[in-house]
């Protein structure tokens, strides 16, 4: 409600051209709140308000905006104004922005940016996408072992304003090798003449530049840090990653997994900003593949056409058996995929996982079969033979579905694929075909059709 009220006030000040009051109003607000309000505005309004923002907060507000709004603002500003925004962004945010922009715009921005900004951005751009090196920032406080506490505090005053965080300072030797860390709070309570090398924490947990961003997020979760140093193969400090970047990564990875599990090619655009054609392109590949694979199910039914004509009632239970098998496989696959993503399950645990899922499958299958057996006899009024065929198939289908559902994601992870691909739609197609084969095989054996 407060955000809506602020939006109305800002719009009123803008319409009545009370620019001084508008500038004062936004200057008193949190930068994230200002960005949220700008996101709700039309492009023309957004640009006007952004130009009115105090220079000291413009870059911070800019960093919170969606990429398409960032691009719109950058292309609307003069070269000098745009370069000023880039110079005041953290290096990792500036790099993310430039990666999304056309090459000609990037070239112009870098030409007008400061030499330090160009160096930092070019440094980050050389790392593979989704690696620790590509998401780190190069703005941090570094200290030397032979510094005194007073020297360190003076160093923080000198470079701290432009640093991502000053809560943790990183101690380097002459070769810029990371040898320790010092928390700001210890610097504040330690005598000024104490030597950094004698008080630093030497057992440093660090991240390699080539580590995948998903693994980086796990390291943050494991150690509960707000920032972690990033080193190259020679253990030289090249940057740091902060927890705000990890929150973005977790959201991005979770969204990507959900889309893959729903048989959608992942996209980095919000739903409302994705065109119909783009949405079609992301969904149609898997739909085509699944449709083609589902033709095998039709082939199985066709091959048992004579059996079905001999006992037509069997046809009525095909959807139930296929759906139940698919649901059972989906339950197992989602559980295992989540366990794999959290590193709770590894491929070496395959036997334990299969053994557990097998017992769960038997219990679920027998429960479903018992309930279905009663329904078939009391409500559907079928023969005991038909009820037996349906219920035995149900047990077998659930068992096979859960085994496939737990094994496929683990096999995918082992050979280098994303386990999320082996989710409900893919597994359902396989289980449907197997369920039908089992169904007709049992029917043939019991009813001799």
Range with top average pLDDT, 25-29, 104-108, 254-258, 395-399: 395-399
Q: What is the pLDDT of residues 349-388, one digit of tens each?
A: 999 999 999 999 999 999 999 999 999 999 888 899 999 9
Residue 413's closest CA among 157, 212, 266, 126?
212
Task: Tell me, yes or no, whether 190 and 297 share the same domain.
Answer: no
Task: Tell me, yes or no, whether 76 and 201 share the same domain.
Answer: no
Last residue of a domain, one of 69, 92, 126: 126
Q: What is the pLDDT of residues 212-241, one digit of tens each?
A: 998 898 899 889 899 999 999 888 999 999
Distance CA 252, CA 2 (A): 28
Of all residues in the chain, the percent with pLDDT exceeding 90 is 31
Task: Tell me, yes or no, whether 146 and 228 share the same domain.
Answer: yes
Task: Tell me, yes or no, whether 230 and 309 share the same domain.
Answer: no
Q: What is the pLDDT of residues 275-330, one digit of tens each?
A: 888 888 888 887 787 777 677 777 777 777 777 777 888 888 998 998 899 889 88
Domain that holds residue 171: 142-242
Q: Is residue 393 over pLDDT 90?
A: yes
Task: Tell me, yes or no, whether 71 and 195 share the same domain.
Answer: no
Task: Tell me, yes or no, whether 48 and 165 share the same domain.
Answer: no
Backbone dihedral region for residue 224 (phi beyond 0: left; psi -120 to 50: alpha; all else: beta): left
How confident is the model at residue 127, as a pLDDT?
A: 86
Number of domains in the chain: 3
How confident is the model at residue 424, as a pLDDT?
A: 62
Tell me the CATH number at 156.
3.10.580.10
Non-local CB neighbours of 263 within 8 Å, separated by 6+ positions: 283, 286, 287, 290, 423, 425, 426
Distance CA 48, CA 77 (A): 11
Query: What's the rounded mean pLDDT across residues 393-407?
Result: 94
Residue carrying the six token digits 């057996």: 373
How confident is the model at residue 155, as a pLDDT?
A: 93
Task: Tell me, yes or no, whether 58 and 203 share the same domain.
Answer: no
Q: Is residue 90 over pLDDT 70?
A: yes
Do 45 and 75 touch, CB atoms closer than 8 A?
no
Give the helix ranges, DSSP H, for 313-383.
318-341, 350-375
Give the helix ranges, DSSP H, for 113-176.
115-125, 132-135, 149-159
Task: Tell me, yes or no, whether 91 and 152 share the same domain.
Answer: no
Distance CA 230, CA 133 (A): 7
How confident is the model at residue 13, as a pLDDT?
A: 86
Q: pLDDT band at residue 249, thresholds of 50, 70 and 90?
A: confident
Q: What is the pLDDT of residues 54-88, one digit of tens each?
A: 877 888 888 888 878 888 888 888 878 887 888 88
């Amino acid at each position: 409600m407060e955000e809506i009220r602020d939006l109305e006030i800002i719009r009123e000040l803008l319409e009545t051209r009370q620019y001084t009051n508008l500038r004062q109003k936004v200057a008193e607000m949190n930068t994230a709140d200002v960005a949220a309000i700008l996101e709700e505005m039309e492009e023309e309004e957004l640009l006007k308000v952004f130009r009115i923002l105090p220079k000291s907060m413009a870059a911070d507000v800019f960093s919170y905006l969606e990429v398409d709004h960032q691009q719109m603002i950058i292309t609307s500003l003069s070269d000098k104004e745009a370069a000023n925004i880039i110079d005041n962004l953290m290096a990792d945010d500036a790099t993310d922005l430039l990666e999304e922009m056309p090459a000609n715009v990037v070239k112009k921005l870098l030409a007008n940016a400061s030499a330090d900004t160009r160096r930092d951005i070019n440094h980050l751009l050389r790392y593979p996408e989704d690696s620790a090196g590509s998401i780190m920032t190069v703005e941090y406080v570094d200290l030397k072992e032979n510094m005194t506490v007073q020297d360190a505090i003076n160093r923080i005053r000198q470079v701290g304003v432009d640093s991502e965080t000053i809560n943790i300072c990183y101690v380097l030797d002459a070769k810029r090798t990371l040898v320790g860390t010092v928390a700001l709070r210890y610097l504040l309570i330690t005598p000024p003449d104490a030597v950094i090398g004698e008080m630093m924490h030497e057992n440093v947990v660090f991240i390699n530049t080539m580590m995948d961003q998903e693994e980086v997020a796990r390291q943050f979760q494991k150690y509960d840090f707000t920032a972690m140093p990033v080193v190259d193969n020679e253990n030289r400090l090249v940057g740091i990653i902060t927890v705000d970047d990890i929150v973005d990564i977790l959201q991005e990875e979770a969204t990507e997994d959900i889309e893959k599990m729903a048989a959608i090619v992942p996209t980095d655009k919000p739903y409302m900003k994705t065109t119909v054609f783009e949405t079609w392109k992301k969904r149609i590949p898997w739909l085509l593949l699944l449709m083609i694979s589902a033709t095998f199910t039709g082939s199985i039914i066709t091959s048992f056409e004579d059996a079905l004509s001999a006992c037509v009632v069997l046809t009525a239970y095909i959807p139930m058996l296929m759906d139940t098998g698919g649901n059972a496989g989906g339950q197992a696959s989602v559980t295992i995929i989540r366990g794999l993503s959290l590193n709770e399950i590894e491929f070496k645990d395959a036997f334990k996982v299969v053994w557990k899922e097998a017992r769960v499958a038997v219990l679920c299958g027998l429960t479903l079969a018992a309930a279905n057996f009663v329904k078939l006899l009391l409500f559907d009024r079928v023969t005991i033979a038909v009820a037996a065929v349906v219920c035995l198939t149900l047990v077998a289908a659930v068992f096979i579905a859960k085994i496939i559902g737990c094994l496929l994601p683990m096999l995918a992870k082992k050979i280098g694929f994303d386990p999320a691909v082996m989710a409900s739609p893919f597994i359902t197609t396989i289980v449907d075909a197997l369920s039908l084969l089992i169904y007709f095989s049992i029917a043939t054996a019991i009813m001799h059709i």
